[in-house]
């Protein structure tokens, strides 16, 4: 709130107090003149006291207002001085920029002339260097090519020796692995070996069981991704789901396969026709 606003508030409060006192006097005189007179006198004293206080506050507010005006005038004068100083600085800076720009333009013209002469000389020098470099490059390329060919010949000879040694070693390993696979009852066909590395996800049923409950014939085969060596889980779903054991595929045909029972079945139960086989331990519902 500004000082003028404060003064107006004080004046309004003063008149409000006066009006309140007059109203009180009128109300009191209507009831009891003597009491009203005494009360009115007290009220007047209070109002005079408040009036004096408000007058003092008003004087203080006036002094504050005068001081604020004086400070504002001083601040405006300081700002005007600063603006004048900045205007002078700007003018000096502009004159200096104009002078420097003229010097720069002169220097640029001289630099462009010198640069054009240097470029012409550089082009002549570059052309001579390119011609010399082309001749040297051609000679070096012949030497490098000869060296590379000699190195390639030596590298190919070493690779041929290594390849022959690796070929002999691989043949020996294949022969030993084939013997081991056949002794284990597995095929040494590379397609079957690769099939064992990534067994398929399959489900089928038991189609036939031998009398000893050792071999079973199932309804899925090589068309489903089975190869000899794969193992499948055997389940029974009726009258209740139960796990029976595992079988290992012994031979395959496109639409069927023969497997042998691995170990013993759970609790010695016999595998029956209609039981389920699966690559995962989960009975089919």
Rounded Cα gap, residues 44 and 108, in angstroms:
92
Can you give the pLDDT at residue 127? 87
> Which CA distances in Å does 163 have to 153, 159, 172?
15, 6, 14
Can you give the pLDDT at residue 166? 84
For domain 200-278, the CATH superfamily is Rod shape-determining protein MreC, domain 1 (2.40.10.340)
Total length of the chain = 285
* Domain ranges (residues) in the chain: 200-278
Can you give the pLDDT at residue 25? 66
**C-beta atoms surrounding 251 within 10 Å:** 17
Residues 109-120 have a mean pLDDT of 87
234-269: pLDDT as tens digits: 999 888 889 999 999 999 999 999 999 998 888 889
Can you give the pLDDT at residue 200? 85
Residue 177 pLDDT exceeds 70 = no
Backbone angles phi and psi of 254, in degrees to 5: -55, -40
190-239: pLDDT as tens digits: 555 555 656 788 999 999 999 999 999 999 999 999 998 899 999 998 88
Q: Which of 54, 65, 45, 74 is nearest to 13 (CA)?
A: 54
Proportion of the chain above pLDDT 70, given as a percent = 86
38-65: pLDDT as tens digits: 887 888 888 888 888 888 888 888 888 8
Q: Which of 231, 235, 230 is nearest to 266 (CA)?
A: 235
**Bridge partners (DSSP) listed for residue 261:** 247
Can you give the pLDDT at residue 51? 82
235 and 283 in contact (C-beta within 8 Å)?
Answer: yes
65 and 3 in contact (C-beta within 8 Å)?
Answer: yes
Rounded Cα gap, residues 145 and 35, in angstroms:
134
**C-beta atoms surrounding 12 within 10 Å:** 10
Mean pLDDT of the chain: 83
């Amino acid at each position: 709130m500004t000082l003028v606003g404060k003064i107006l508030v004080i004046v309004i409060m003063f008149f409000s107090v006066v009006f309140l006192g007059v109203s009180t006097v009128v109300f009191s005189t209507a009831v009891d003149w003597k009491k009203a007179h005494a009360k009115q006198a007290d009220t007047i004293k209070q109002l005079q006291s408040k009036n004096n206080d408000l007058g003092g506050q008003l004087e203080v507010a006036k002094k504050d207002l005068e001081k604020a005006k004086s400070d504002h005038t001083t601040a405006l004068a300081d700002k005007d001085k600063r603006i004048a100083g900045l205007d002078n600085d700007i003018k000096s800076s502009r004159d200096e920029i104009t002078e420097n720009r003229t010097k720069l333009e002169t220097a640029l013209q001289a630099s462009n002339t010198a640069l054009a002469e240097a470029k012409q000389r550089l082009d002549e020098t570059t052309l001579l260097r390119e011609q010399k470099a082309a001749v040297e490059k051609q000679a070096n390329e012949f030497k490098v090519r000869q060296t590379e060919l000699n190195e390639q010949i030596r590298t190919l000879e070493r690779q041929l020796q290594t390849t022959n040694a690796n070929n002999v070693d691989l043949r020996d390993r294949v022969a030993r692995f084939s013997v081991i696979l056949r002794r284990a009852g597995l095929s040494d066909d590379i397609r079957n070996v690769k099939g064992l590395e990534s067994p398929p996800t399959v489900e089928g049923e038991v189609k036939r069981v031998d009398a000893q409950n050792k071999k079973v014939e199932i309804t899925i085969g090589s068309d489903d991704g089975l190869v000899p060596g794969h193992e499948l889980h055997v389940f029974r779903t009726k009258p209740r789901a139960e796990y029976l054991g595992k079988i290992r595929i012994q031979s395959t045909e496109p639409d069927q396969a023969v497997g042998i029972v691995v170990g013993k079945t759970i609790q010695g139960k016999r595998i029956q026709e209609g039981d389920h086989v699966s690559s995962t331990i989960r009975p089919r519902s």
